[in-house]
Chain A
Amino acid sequence: MMELVNTKKLFQLDELSFDGHRINFLNGNDPTSIFYGISQGGILGAGYVSLSNSADIIDRSILGVPGAPFSFILSRSDDFLVYNQLMLYNFRNNRHIRIYLSLVQMAYDSVDASGYLAEPLDADDLPRVLLQAGIGDSQVTTISAEILARAFNASLLEDAPKEVFGLEDFMYRSDEDGPKSALVELLYVDEASTIPKSNISPDRNNVHICVRYDLALRNQVIEFINDGRISNPCTGEKCVRQRARSCDAARRRSRHLNIHQMLQSLK
C-alpha cells in the first residue's frame, strides 16, 4: 500500500497531466516495475538486478543480448577491434592487453553480475529474469549470456536450438506460467557458422541488433511484462532464423554504431 501511494506521487506531477486530467493506472493498481536493458544495458543491468534482490525496487527484468563477465566478452566482440588498436599505443602486444583485461576484471567483479552473483547469494531470492540472446552475435558472445544464465539459475525452454551446459530444461506441462527465469536463444544459422571458436573477434553481423526486433521475442517480452508469464517462442524450431539481414536499416539508425564508425576512422 505504501508503494502505491508513493508511486502515485510521481504521476501527480503537473507535467503528467493532460488537459487537466491525470493519467490512470490499470485497474487502479500500482504499476509493475520492470527493468529492460539491452547490450551494455543487459550486462550492467544484470549487476543491478542481482543487487536489487532485497531492495524491492524492480519486479521483473528483461536482459537483451547480455553477458558476463566483461573481460570475457571484450576480446570476443567485434566492437573491441578498435579499442584493441588504441590500447596497442600503450601496450607492447596483445598478450599484455589480455593480462590487463584479466586484471581489470578483478575491479569489475564489483560492478558486473559475475561478482555479485557468486555464492553465497541465493538465486532464488533474485527477481525474475528473462534473458534473450542470439547465437552468432558478433558483439556480445552468446557464451557469456549462457554464463549469466547459469549464474541466475535460469531454465532452458523446450525446443531450444541447442543444449546449454548447466541449464535445466523447463517442461511447460508441469507449470503453465513458465519458469522463474529463462534463457532464450535465437539461432541465426549463417552468422553462427562464422563465429570463431577461439577468443578472437568475429566479423561484424546484425544478430546483436536483430534480437531486439524479433517479433516472437518481442511478444515474449510483452507477455512477461503484462502477465509475468515466460512463454516459449521456440516450440517447433521457431527459434531458428536463417540469417540476420533484415535489421540493416535499424543498424544504420543506431547512434552507438555511428560512434563505433567514428572510432574506426581513428585507426
Chain B
Amino acid sequence: MVTVLATIRSPQWEEDMTVTKVIDHNCQRHNLGRTIYVDFNVPWYMKDYGDGHRGEIIDTKRISSNNPELKPRRAKFTVHVPCSVKANAISGGGRQIQAVVEYGHGLFSTHEEAEESRFLHRMADDHGYIIVAMDWRGMSRYDLPIILQMLITDPSKVESVRDVSLIHNYTFQAAASLFDEVPLLSQYHTLRTFYKATRIKWR
C-alpha cells in the first residue's frame, strides 16, 4: 500500500506498471465509474517469493542498501474512479480530482473492502476523490492460513507475519522513495537484532 504513492511519484514507475483488468461500472446504479487493477514492481526483501512462500521471513542480506541481489517482485493495487470524475472528463460537468485517497482495510480483509464500502464511493463521487487500495500483506484474508497455523501449532510463526506486514507496508516505502536517505533500514536492523535476542524458543 505504502509503495503505491511512492512508486507513482518515481520517474520510472510507468515502466513497472501493468494494467491487468479494467471494469467499467454502470453510473446509473453505482458511484464508481471505473475500477483499474494494476500490477507493479516492488523491492523484495523476503527470503523467497511465489506460491507456497506466504510465510517467508526477511532475508537480512537483502535489506542492506545497494544490494545487487535485490530484485523487484510483483504487487497489486486497485484504482477506483468515481462517476463524477468520469463525467467531468467526458462532458466537463461532474467533479475534478481533488484528492487521492489511499484506503487501508480492516482485520483480515483485502483491498476489495474499498470496492464494498459504499460510503467511501459516495464521498469520492461527491467530492472528486480517486481511491487507491492495496492489501495489508501479512494481515489480509490471504494470510489467514498462516495466522491459523501460527495460533494452533507454531506461535513462533509470528515472525513471518510481522516481517511480511513490515516489509510490505513500511520498508517497501523506504526503498521505493528514499532508499539511501531514510534511516529506517538501519533502525529496522537494530530492532530485528533486538527481537532475535529476546525471541523465545517455543518448542
Contact = CB atoms under 8 A, between A and B. Distances in A.
A212 B119 contact: yes
Given A6-B10, A9-B13, A38-B104, A21 B89 contact: yes
A16 B119 CA distance: 23
B141 interface: yes
Interface in B1-44: 1-2, 5-6, 8-11, 13-14, 17, 19, 22, 33-34, 36
Contacts of B173: 48, 51-52, 55, 57
B153 A90 contact: yes
Interface string B81-118: 10001101110000111111111111111001100110
Contact of A57 (B6, B17, B104, B126): B6
Nearest to A212: B119
A57 B10 CA distance: 11
Size range of the chain B interface in the assembly: 35 or more
Given A3-B9, A7-B9, A107-B162, A79 B107 contact: yes
A6 B101 contact: no
Interface in A124-148: none
Interface in A10-52: 10-11, 13, 15-19, 21-27, 31-42, 44-45, 47-48, 51-52
A23 B97 contact: yes
Given A34-B100, A213-B119, A225-B99, A106 B198 contact: yes
B110 to A, nearest CB: 8
Interface string B130-173: 10000010010100100010011111001100100110011001
A39 B6 CA distance: 23
A104 interface: yes
A200 interface: no
Interface string A156-167: 000000000000
B88 A23 contact: yes
Interface residues of A, number: 70
Contact of A107 (B17, B141, B158): B158
Contacts of B195: 106-107, 110
A6 B8 CA distance: 7
Nearest to B1: A48
Interface residues of chain A: helix, strand, loop or mixed (majority): helix
A34 B6 contact: no
Contacts of B198: 103, 106
B170 A111 contact: yes
A54 interface: yes
A10 B8 contact: yes
Nearest to A65: B106
A22 to B, nearest CB: 6
A115 B192 CA distance: 13
A87 B123 contact: no
B36 A256 contact: no
Contacts of B184: 51
A256 B97 contact: no
B129 interface: yes
B105 A47 contact: no
B81 A47 contact: no
B165 A42 contact: no
A109 interface: yes
Interface of A: 3, 6-7, 9-11, 13, 15-19, 21-27, 31-42, 44-45, 47-48, 51-52, 54-55, 57-58, 79, 83, 86-87, 89-91, 100, 103-104, 106-111, 115, 212-213, 218, 221-222, 225-226, 253-256, 259
7 contacts: A21-B90, A24-B85, A32-B98, A32-B100, A37-B103, A90-B151, A226-B98
Q: When A and B form their complex, which 10 residue pairs have the shortest distance between CB atoms, in order from nearest?
A: A41-B104, A37-B104, A39-B106, A110-B191, A86-B151, A26-B96, A32-B99, A40-B107, A21-B89, A45-B104
Given A16-B36, A27-B96, A52-B2, 20 more contacts: A17-B89, A18-B34, A21-B89, A23-B97, A34-B100, A36-B120, A37-B104, A38-B104, A44-B139, A51-B170, A51-B184, A57-B173, A57-B177, A89-B151, A104-B155, A107-B159, A107-B162, A111-B162, A255-B113, A259-B109
